[in-house]
Structure 1
């Protein structure tokens, strides 16, 4: 009589055989090549859970396929690596075929009830959401963008003066994150910004680590219990924000979003939950990007010196102050007059960004007359695959080198969203990218001009980022970098008072 172990082994072998047969029986020869699997339907899920974006990059390096298929339980995923295929998917002719899943993503972690989800799905369907449309309208370009940026820079000026001076030892990431949080949210939510309350900011920080559980865990109420309680506190703050009419004094985008959703039938209590998505858009990647940019500049003495020299060229005049004279620096000219700082920004995004564009296939389609894609499948475009592609960026693609953007080829790649896509591309391109970029560069400029930053350990050591969340476009460092912050004492900055502005003010250069 066979033993229990033998019976279990035989049963597992039968199940394995069945799954393997089902896998290949349901995979068409005309679909993109199926990546070899050891455990049918589970290999990819395990690989992504363990290695996140690195798993997708490793598959590209191992197989070198322009597009391939991953199979998970009840889901097929097409991973696109080739720039020419990326351009086809992004083309205007395919907008109704490959539809972004931003609305679904936002509803998954915001806590909306079933009725609200149905309301938003019916209202926006495959055409995006009110958040994206409103942000594009107000922050893509023009006077609204200028006004929001100026307000954020004003808040940064005060925050940096009070928040960095005299602090001594701080965590570099945490210090930058805090200043950017108050500046970005203050510019958007106005005078009654909920994040001005330290308890709300702390609750947000407690909530963020639970997002992965809300997206992937089968039991988020157990695995993300603390995060859910923190989310409830943030939502309550926004409920009070809307109930008191504070949103009417905010940046115009906020009341428009609120009114649009109200017209679709979304009650104020549920609208408050949607601000979790707005907050995530503002706070998820900007501070991390600022950290990596500051790290790479501060850890390279030559680059640090050059960036400071460039920033001195932004001085437009001297202004009288109660204590004497101040040098007025117009930060709105950073991208046109600070070539090294700007190149460092682009390389920071290229080198570190792990953005993944995700779209859903709306109907069966044959891509470039070669690859059959099934309705309901997910298309993934991992930015890292193209950002580290030697065919695009040369043999040093996996190295950090800002000088690549001083070459004609490097500058050309900046305008090619199949080669450079830290903000995504097409209809899913980050609508707040100009706002975020301007504020991050202003923050870094303010710190470089006024402070010396040195690592507590005596030398700069790049932190790892193995535990970074896959949903985030920029990988958070696994550890903060302790630094000593001191007022600058060199000949260019000693006893210098700075007035840092964005754009023209009375008597100043535009």
Structure 2
């Protein structure tokens, strides 16, 4: 080899070494221990892009023993930054205590910028006071804080009960339309059926049936295209080129919601939460255009986890004859106090199903649904470190430095599988796990709906909706897979990856046969939410 060639090769090697070092930030010994990537510099970034939030859980499982030795947190270096991954409930609690600087707010802003494509004015409003210091400093409440306050108020107490009455009406109407009491067998892709059914049911009770933009099937199609293309849209680099179809779908969504807000009657018929969000946005000078764009976020929160959660719940219950029988018997005991045999005497009559009463009298139903959410949850509660800060694990008494500008993730799959938090059966599916309502679950161990000051305001709505769907399906229908596994049971599909969704959809849908139960054929149904105030906690 000539001296020139040698010089070129050596120069190239030195350049690569320099690039690797310049792209890899300094690791302070006070930070959580470092897990180097298998592919230098870019390995962890590639892992996240390829596997979504599941990558954090994969890494946590791979390094669980080391993570425990180091206090339940470790560092993944990425180009020009680092990611801290938290694996223990006690360390999650430590992060939640530092919520002002280990912040979720940055992700709200970036979501609005990259996915909702908000204007610079609207994004700037959301970007104000990231450390949530407005009250301490005597300032007026900002847009981000006021919107969250409005959402929490809208989804609690009497406002939640009012919403649930609309949910019941919408679910029943759409279920009857999709399946009804057909005597013949209906064959459908399970998750696809639930996607169509729950999208319409959810947006009907949220925006009002008459003017619901999702009545246009192209809007529904556009919304789900956005969900499937989060990674490419989230890059926010020429989405018209790198995510053409999803970008067109997003624009179709925006156009439909612009028309919605241009119609005074539409807003008048919408739910309390939509009106409250509208008022908060208008108070802070947000345009109708941006309000329409922000509703893509509302629909994302409403639908993207509810659909797969309902699907996996149905898979779990119909693939297990024992739990199906137990859930069915418990629901029937409330709906038919004289026994299921009495249903034959009520042909043509309206049977009222009060889901508040069913859930109250038969707690196994809610416990089952919570356990589905526990074992299926795959989110990584995301935070951004706004300034250098020390966090302390009160159990281990270890302290760690978190560097400004770093990402912090708390993968729920890891915490939900923690024996320290859930006992020796942590990795098993136990439908009775949540039966003892007096036993409080640590917020740092139960992360399906996030936690800390980023706890999902719609968690009660989501759980109530899911238990209602499950109850009505179990009560009214039999479901079986078209294709069975080698042992004759359900053949469960592998899950797809997603960069942000908590409950993952299957990589391939499950084709199922749905038929009305003979015992309840011919009955009419009234699904309601009637609260017994003397029993309400």
Residues 214-250 of structure 1 deviation map (CA, whole Å, 9 limit, x = unaligned):
1247553322110000111111110000011211321
* 1:455 corresponds to 2:471: no
Aligned to 1:503: 530
Give CA deviations for 1:258-286 in whole Å, capped at 9, x if unaligned.
22222322211121111111111111101
Q: Secondary structure at the match of 1:463?
A: coil
Aligned-residue offset at 1:187: 1.4
1:182 matched residue in structure 2: 200
Take 2:4 and 2:186, find their aligned partners in 1: how far apart are those partners? 65
For the 8 Å contact 1:160–1:447, the answer to whether it is kept is no
Structure-2 change in CA distance of 1:83 and 1:504 (3 Å): closer
Aligned position for 1:305 = 325
Instruction: Say which of 54, 58, 67 aligns to 2:73.
Output: 67
Structure 2 SS opposite 1:473 = coil
State whether residues 54 and 497 of structure 2, in contact with CA within 8 Å, keep that contact through their aligned partners in structure 1: no
* Contact persistence 2:60–2:85 (CA under 8 A): no
Change (3 A) 1:396 1:52: farther
Match of 2:177 among 162, 171, 174: 162
In structure 1, how many angstroms separate the alpha carbons of the residues matched to 2:111 and 2:200? 25
Partner secondary structure for residue 266 of structure 1: coil
What SS is found at the alignment partner of 2:505?
Answer: coil
Distance 1:243 1:302 in 2: 52
Task: Give the alignment of 1:87-102 within 5 angstroms.
Answer: 87-91=93-97, 94-100=98-104, 101-102=107-108
- The correspondence of residues 379-394 of structure 1 with structure 2, limited to 5 A, is 379-394=408-423
Deviation per CA, 1:468-508: give whole Å up to 9, x if none.
Answer: 21200111111111111111014xx2444433221169xxx
Q: Partner of 1:313: helix, strand, or coil? A: helix
1:94-133 aligned at under 5 Å gives the runs 94-100=98-104, 101-122=107-128, 126=132, 128-133=144-149
In structure 1, the partner of 2:139 is none
What SS does the corresponding residue of 1:78 show, helix, strand or coil?
A: strand
Alpha-carbon shift at residue 338 of structure 1 (Å): 2.5
**Aligned equivalents of 1:9, 1:335: Cα separation in 2:** 70
Give the TM-score normalised by the residue count of structure 1: 0.90
Residues 130-141 of structure 1 aligned to structure 2 (within 5 Å): 130-139=146-155, 141=156
| Cα deviation, residue 290, structure 1 | 0.5
User: How many positions carry a matched residue from both structures?
Assistant: 497
Q: In 1, are the aligned partners of 2:51 and 2:499 still within 8 Å (CA)?
A: no
The range that moved more, 300-309 or 104-113, is: 104-113
Deviations 1:278-299 (A, max 9, x none): 1111111011101011110011
State the alpha-carbon separation in 2 of the partners of residues 163 and 9 from structure 1.
66
Tell me if 1:228 matches 2:254: no
How far off its partner does 1:4 sit? 9.2
Alignment of 1:275-314 (within 5 A): 275-314=295-334
Counterpart Cα distance in 2 of 1:274 and 1:482 = 34
1:488 counterpart = 2:508: no
CA distance in 2, matches of 1:21, 1:75: 12
- Whether the 8 Å contact between 1:316 and 1:329 is mirrored in structure 2 is no
Q: What is the rounded CA distance, in whole Å, between the counterparts of 2:8 and 2:421 in structure 1?
A: 51
Aligned to 1:149: 164
Q: Distance in 2 between matches of 1:281 and 1:186?
A: 15
Say whether residues 1:83 and 2:99 are aligned partners.
no
Secondary structure at the counterpart of residue 363 of structure 1: coil
Report whether the alignment pairs 1:360 with 2:366: no
Hey, what's the Cα distance between the residues in 1 that align with 2:362 and 2:204? Answer: 27
1:335 aligns with 2:353: no
Deviation at 1:8, TM superposition (A): 6.5
**Secondary structure of 2:229's match?**
helix
> Which residue in the other structure is 1:266 paired with?
286
- Match of residue 173 from structure 1: 191
In structure 2, stretches of 5+ residues that fail to align are 133-141, 393-397
1:422 aligns with 2:452: no
| Partner of residue 214, structure 1 | 233
Per the alignment, residue 213 of structure 2 pairs with 194
Contact 2:25 2:81 in 1 (8 A): no
8 Å contact from structure 1 (residues 23, 40) kept in 2:
no
User: Offset of 1:312 from its aligned partner?
Assistant: 1.1
Matched, 1:439 2:465: yes
Contact 2:348-2:523 at 8 Å conserved across structures: no
> Would the alpha carbon gap of residues 46 and 206 (structure 1) be closer, same or farther in structure 2, given more than 3 Å must change?
closer
Contact 2:37/2:76 (<8 A) preserved: no
> What is the CA deviation profile of residues 162-194 of structure 1, one whole-angstrom value per residue up to 9, with x for unaligned ones?
211347101111222222222221112124221
- Does residue 478 (structure 1) correspond to residue 480 (structure 2)? The answer is no
Quote the Cα distance in structure 1 between the aligned partners of 2:425 and 2:281.
Answer: 47
Q: TM-score, normalized by length of structure 2?
A: 0.85
Please list every run of 5 or more consecutive structure 1 residues that lacks an aligned counterpart in the other structure.
none
Report the 3-state secondary structure (helix = DSSP H, G, I; strand = E; otherwise coil) of the residue aligned with 2:33. coil
Separation of aligned partners in 1, 2:25 and 2:504: 38
Task: Tell me the distance in 2 between the aligned counterparts of 1:227 and 1:25.
Answer: 35
> How far apart, CA to CA, are the structure 1 residues paired with 2:146 and 2:441?
27
CA-based RMSD of the aligned residues comes to 2.8
Map of 2:136 onto structure 1: none
Distance 1:316 1:378, change over 3 A: same
Q: Is the 8 A contact 1:123 1:264 kept in 2?
A: no
Please state whether the residue corresponding to 1:449 is helix, strand or coil: helix
Per-residue CA distance 1:373-413 (angstroms, 9 max, x = gap): 1122222111111011233334443333324445x6x974x
CA distance in 1, matches of 2:61, 2:217: 45
CA contact (8 A) 1:19 1:40 kept: no
